[in-house]
Chain A
Amino acid sequence: MIELEGLTKRYGEKVAVDNLTFTVRPGIVTGFLGPNGAGKSTTMRMILGLDHPTAGDVRVDGTHYDRLKDPLTNIGALLEAKGVHPGRSAQNHLLWLAQSNGIPERRVREVLDEVGLTAVARKKAKGFSLGMGQRLGIAAALLGDPRILMFDEPVNGLDPEGIHWIRTLMKSLAEQGRTVFVSSHLMSEMALTADHLVVIGQGRLLADTSMAEFIERNSRSYVRVRTPQREALLDALHRAGVTAVDGADGTLEVDGTPAEAIGELAARNGVVLHELSPQQASLEEAFMQLTAESVEYHAHTGAPLPPQQQQQWGESWRKG
Chain B
Amino acid sequence: MATGQVVRSEWTKIRSVASTVWTLSTAVVTTIALGMLISALSKNEFGNLSEREKLSFDPTFISFAGTSLGQLAMIVFGVLVVSNEYSTGMIRASLAAVPKRGVFLFSKLAVATALALVVGMVTSFATFFLGQLMLGDLRASIGDDGVLRAVFGGGLYMTLIALFSMGVAAMLRSPMLSLGILMPFFFLISNILGNVSATEKVGRFLPDQAGSRIMQVVTPVDDDTPYGPWGGLGIMALWVIAAVAGGYVLLRRRDAQ
A interface, CB within 8 angstroms of B: 45, 48-52, 65-66, 68-72, 77, 79, 81-89, 92, 95-102, 140
A66 to B84, CA, bound (A): 23
B256 and A50 form a contact (CB under 8 A): yes
Q: How far is the CA of A97 from the CA of B104 in the complex (A)?
A: 12
Q: Check B93 for interface membership: any CB of A closer than 8 A.
A: yes
14 residue pairs of the A-B complex, CB under 8 angstroms, read: A48-B92, A49-B95, A66-B100, A69-B1, A71-B96, A71-B97, A79-B92, A85-B90, A87-B18, A88-B17, A89-B16, A96-B12, A99-B8, A101-B5
- Cβ of A49: which chain B residues have Cβ within 8 Å of it? 95-96, 99
Question: Complex Cα distance A18/B234, Å?
Answer: 49
Knowing A45-B92, A83-B91, say if A101 contacts B17 (CB, 8 Å). no
Question: Which residues of B are found within 8 Å of A72, using beta-carbon distances?
Answer: 96-97
Q: How far does the Cβ of A152 sit from chain B's closest Cβ, in whole Å? A: 11
Interfacial residues of chain B within 69-91, with CB under 8 A of chain A in the complex: 84, 88-91
Tell which of A85, A95, A96 has the most Cβ of chain B within 10 Å. Answer: A96
Do A77 and B1 touch (CB < 8 A)?
no
* A70 with B9: CB separation less than 8 A: no
- The smallest C-beta distance from A113 to any residue of chain B, in angstroms, reads 20
B16 near A97 (CB under 8 angstroms)? no
Asked whether, in the complex, the Cβ of A81 is within 8 Å of the Cβ of B97, the reply is no
User: Are A88 and B16 in contact, with the CB atoms below 8 A?
Assistant: yes
Which residues in B have their C-beta under 8 angstroms from that of A97? 9, 93, 97
Contact partner of B17 (CB less than 8 A), chosen from A79, A85, A95, is A85
Contact B8 A83 (CB under 8 A): no
| A183 → chain B closest CB, angstroms | 15
Q: Across the interface, do A99 and B256 meet the contact criterion of CB distance under 8 Å?
A: no
B256 A45 Cβ-Cβ under 8 A: yes
Flag if B16 contacts A96 (CB, 8 Å).
yes
Residues on B with beta carbons closer than 8 Å to the beta carbon of A87? 17-19
The residues of B that contact A77 with a CB separation of less than 8 Å are: 96
Residues of B within 8 A of A81 (CB): 89, 92
Q: Which B residues, 223 to 257, have Cβ-Cβ distances below 8 Å to chain A?
A: 253, 255-257
Q: Does B135 contact A (CB under 8 A)?
A: no
Q: Is B54 an interface residue (CB 8 A)?
A: no
Give chain B residues whose Cβ lies under 8 Å from the Cβ of A85.
Answer: 13, 17, 84, 88, 90
Q: Which residues of chain B are near A82, meaning CB under 8 Å?
A: 89, 93
Q: Looking at B97, B99, B257, which has the most chain A CB atoms within 10 Å of its CB? A: B97
Residues on B with beta carbons closer than 8 Å to the beta carbon of A89: 16
A51: chain B residues within 8 A (beta carbon): 255-257
B2 interface contact, C-beta 8 A? yes
Number of residues from B at the complex interface, CB < 8 A: 31
Closest-CB distance, B237 to chain A (whole angstroms):
29
- Which residues of A have CB within 8 Å of B24? none
Known A85-B90, A87-B19, A101-B5; judge A50-B95 contact (CB<8 A).
Answer: yes
Residues of chain B contacted by A79 (CB below 8 angstroms)? 92-93, 96
- In the complex, A83 Cα to B98 Cα: how many Å? 14
Residue ID in chain B nearest A67 by CB atoms: B99
Q: What is the bound-complex CA distance between A99 and B5, given in angstroms?
A: 6
Helix, strand, loop or mixed for chain A's interface?
A: loop
Q: Is the CB of B90 within 8 A of A83?
A: yes
Find chain B residues with CB under 8 A from A92 CB. Answer: 12, 16
- Ranked nearest first, the 6 interchain pairs of A and B with the lowest CB-CB distance are A100-B9, A66-B99, A99-B9, A92-B16, A83-B93, A50-B256
B97 to A101, Cβ gap below 8 A? Answer: yes
Any A CB within 8 A of the CB of B6: yes
Q: A102 touching B5 by the CB < 8 A rule?
A: yes
Please give the distance in Å from A47's CB to the nearest CB on chain B. Answer: 10
> Within 8 Å CB of B84, what residues of A?
85
Tell me the minimal C-beta distance from B155 to chain A in angstroms: 28
Q: Which of B106-164 contact A (CB under 8 A)?
A: none
Closest B-chain residue to A42, C-beta based? B255
Point out the residues of chain A lying under 8 angstroms from B17, CB to CB. 85, 87-88
**Nearest-CB distance from A123 to chain B (Å)?**
13
> In the assembly, what is the distance between CA of A204 and CA of B6, in Å?
37
Q: How far is the CA of A100 from the CA of B12 in the complex (A)?
A: 10
Beta-carbon contact of B90 and A84 below 8 Å: yes
User: Roughly how many angstroms separate A7 CA and B54 CA in the complex, as a whole number?
Assistant: 72
Of B1, B88, B93, which is in contact with the most chain A CB atoms at under 10 Å from its CB?
Answer: B93
- Give the chain A neighbours of B257 by CB distance below 8 A: 50-51
Rounded to whole Å, the gap between the CB of A174 and the closest CB of chain B is 21
**How far, in whole Å, are A79 and B88 apart by their CA atoms in the complex?**
13
Q: Which of A45, A68, A86, A95 contacts B99 (CB 8 A)?
A: A68
Are B256 and A100 touching (Cβ within 8 A)? no
Give every chain B residue within 8 A of A101 (Cβ-Cβ).
1, 5, 97
Q: A52-B253, A96-B9, A102-B5 are in contact. List 12 more A-B contacts (CB 8 A).
A: A45-B255, A45-B256, A48-B95, A48-B99, A79-B92, A83-B92, A85-B84, A85-B90, A88-B13, A96-B10, A96-B16, A100-B8
Distance, CA A52 to CA B256, complexed state (A): 9
A69 to B5, CA, bound (A): 12
Residue on B nearest A9 in the bound complex, by CB: B255
The answer to whether A65 and B255 touch across the interface, beta carbons within 8 angstroms, is no
Q: How far is the CA of A47 from the CA of B188 in the complex (A)?
A: 46
CB distance from B110 to the nearest CB of A (A): 14
| Chain B residue nearest in CB terms to A77 | B96
